[in-house]
């Protein structure tokens, strides 16, 4: 399950061993295409990686903190530290490979 979070809840994400943060917005077409793929992968990787989504319009501070200028933008955190970033829509197979390579 991909959990929607705000800046106030971000501290809990830093405590995860591995997390994928999806920076997106309601008006973004590619973001809407990516959302169901992230849901599928989050179910398949349950217990290995946590998945979160952040609305860049509602949380501009977080977007700025991670230097998000284009969406969708996925940031992989390992023990609270950025370990990788993927910008733009990515098919499920490539997304799986990207996550596996960072674990």
**Which residues does the annotation mark as catalytic?**
28, 31
Residue showing tokens 């599928």: 40
Peptide bond between residue 36 and the one before it cis (omega within 30 degrees of 0): no
Determine how β-strand 18-24 pairs with β-strand 50-55: parallel
């Amino acid at each position: 399950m991909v959990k929607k979070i705000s800046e106030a809840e971000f501290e809990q994400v830093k405590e995860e061993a591995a997390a994928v943060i999806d920076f997106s917005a309601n008006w973004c077409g590619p973001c809407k295409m990516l959302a169901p793929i992230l849901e599928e992968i989050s179910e398949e990787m349950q217990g290995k990686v946590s998945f979160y989504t952040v609305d860049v319009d509602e949380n501009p501070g977080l977007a700025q903190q991670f230097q998000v200028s284009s969406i969708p933008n996925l940031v992989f955190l390992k023990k609270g530290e950025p370990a990788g970033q993927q910008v733009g829509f990515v098919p499920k197979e490539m997304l799986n490979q990207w996550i596996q390579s960072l674990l």
